[in-house]
Amino acid sequence: MTSLDPSYAAALARAAAHAQAFRAGLAERPPRPALSYAQMLQRFAAPLPQAGQPPAQVIEQLAALAEPGLGAMAGGRFFGWVIGGSHPVGVAADWLTSAWGQNVGNHLANPAGAACEAVAAQWLLELLDLPRQASVGFVTGATMANFVGLAAARGEVLRRVGWNADAQGLFGAPPIQVLIGDDAHATVYSGLQFLGLGHERVTRLATNAMGAINLPAFEQALGDAQGPLIVILQAGQINTGAFDDFARLIPLAHARGAWVHVDAAFGLWARACPSRAALAAGIEQADSWATDGHKWLQTPYDCGYAIVRDAQAHERAMSISASYLPTSVGDRDPSHLVPELSRRARGFATWAMISHLGRDGIAAMVEQHCRLAQRMTEHIACERGAVLLNDVVLNQAVLRFGTDAAPDEGDRLTRELIASVQDEGHCFVGGAEWRGRWVMRLSVINAATSEAEAMRSAEAIAAAWRALRDRS
């Protein structure tokens, strides 16, 4: 029997040991890293190595250097942004993905990766209850999923008026009009920017207090729209978790001939949870959807899904062909659905997480996170001077502090509270501007968050607020 070079075996074993020790320590590790970027830069700073180091020593050194700059972002008390848990099962699948070292660009070179992706894609469509014939590209996250969906949209709305944007570009093309809600995510604007559609050259639509598009504003804009049209809707506003009214808006947009793209980075997962599915009713009528694996599905990073109803429009926008690249019509070539040619087999981690949690486990997890978001915010908002600003329909909450004070003073108190919660280190929450005022944001979306940890964190925030309020 042949064996792996012992020095490589040692490096892999050391990596596994460090990974296990890190995960074992997550429950105790503060959510915020001990050292800052500047301090970490000093730790890593070194001249370019002239001679190479032995494998295990490199891994030991990396683990030792990085350690104080790692927070417990994958732990149960991190509520700062919409961030999943990099679940150990997904991590294990990702280790194998890397160890196998297979480029999943096409299915002849990597039949295992392409087939696993094809099956995971069907599972996703079933889980999220989207049209079963839709195509699914495995991208790095919702940013690229938005880009891919909008690229398919751009190609198709121009193809319908006789213009081949993929071949001819946009110079001289009939202008495309883009309608987008005023509270859309920043990455959708990035997608528009990458595609030559411009992040300012859009019609922004008025939204309600929760951030969902107002129907009269939508009808007005549709009535005024000229030529090829792309409508961008949202499932899960980044602060409030709000959903656009898909059942009403999508048919109106389609009657006008628009392509409807939905940024549903985390909100699409409401579809996987019977008690929340109604929030996204009608979303299945859209033309493309962007969602993440590395948020609610808990896969490690670099995992999102670009889902397009019209598989041909999807492939037209993304296909890469060259005589040296093998193809066969009708079978899945993963690179034809995403911007990259060479890439890791992202389907393995997705397959592993769905296999591990199952439909029931995913539904229960989403349900639990929504329930905890509600319970945590009820606990905090009953403190004098604290107020909850959104309906906690999903897993997101927006809170403001200093309600008895002048607005500027309320901003100051809210920011100071966020900083003190972060410094104290029990849990991590973030802040944002919402409706012109500073707020605390709470996202409950990590599989590692237990009920006890959630409630202890809520009490830590409440206690920090009482201390700040009684000092001021």
Q: Which residues form the interface with ligand PLP (CB under 6 A)?
A: 82, 141-143, 185, 187, 236, 238, 263, 265-266, 292, 304
- To ligand PLP, the closest distance from the beta carbon of 263 in angstroms equals 5
Report the residue number, 290 or 381, with the smaller CB distance to ligand PLP.
290
- To ligand PLP, the closest distance from the beta carbon of 468 in angstroms equals 29
Kindly report the number of other CB atoms within 10 A of residue 5's CB atom.
9
In 3D space, the residue among 296, 239, 241 whose CA is nearest the CA of residue 441 turns out to be 239
Report the residue number, 154 or 295, with the smaller CB distance to ligand PLP.
295
Report the residue number, 110 or 187, with the smaller CB distance to ligand PLP.
187
- To ligand PLP, the closest distance from the beta carbon of 430 in angstroms equals 13
Report the residue number, 245 or 383, with the smaller CB distance to ligand PLP.
245
The residue whose Cβ lies closest to ligand PLP is 141
- To ligand PLP, the closest distance from the beta carbon of 107 in angstroms equals 26
What token pair was written down for 227?
């030529």
Q: Return the DSSP state at 129.
A: T
Residue 302 main-chain phi, psi, to 5 deg: 70, 50
* Residue with the two structure tokens 């417990």: 72
- To ligand PLP, the closest distance from the beta carbon of 394 in angstroms equals 11
Q: Are 185 and 211 spatial neighbours (Cβ–Cβ below 8 Å)?
A: no
**Half-sphere exposure in the Cβ direction for 440 (13 Å, CA):** 33
- To ligand PLP, the closest distance from the beta carbon of 144 in angstroms equals 7
Q: Are 395 and 266 spatial neighbours (Cβ–Cβ below 8 Å)?
A: yes
Report the residue number, 60 or 292, with the smaller CB distance to ligand PLP.
292
**Euclidean distance between CA atoms 414 and 411, whole angstroms:** 5
Report the residue number, 82 or 93, with the smaller CB distance to ligand PLP.
82
Q: Return the DSSP state at 39.
A: H
Report the residue number, 205 or 225, with the smaller CB distance to ligand PLP.
205
Which residues does 154 contact at the CB level (< 8 Å), separation at least 6? 165, 176, 195, 197, 230, 317
- To ligand PLP, the closest distance from the beta carbon of 16 in angstroms equals 27
Residue 434 β-bridge partners? 437
**Euclidean distance between CA atoms 33 and 28, whole angstroms:** 12
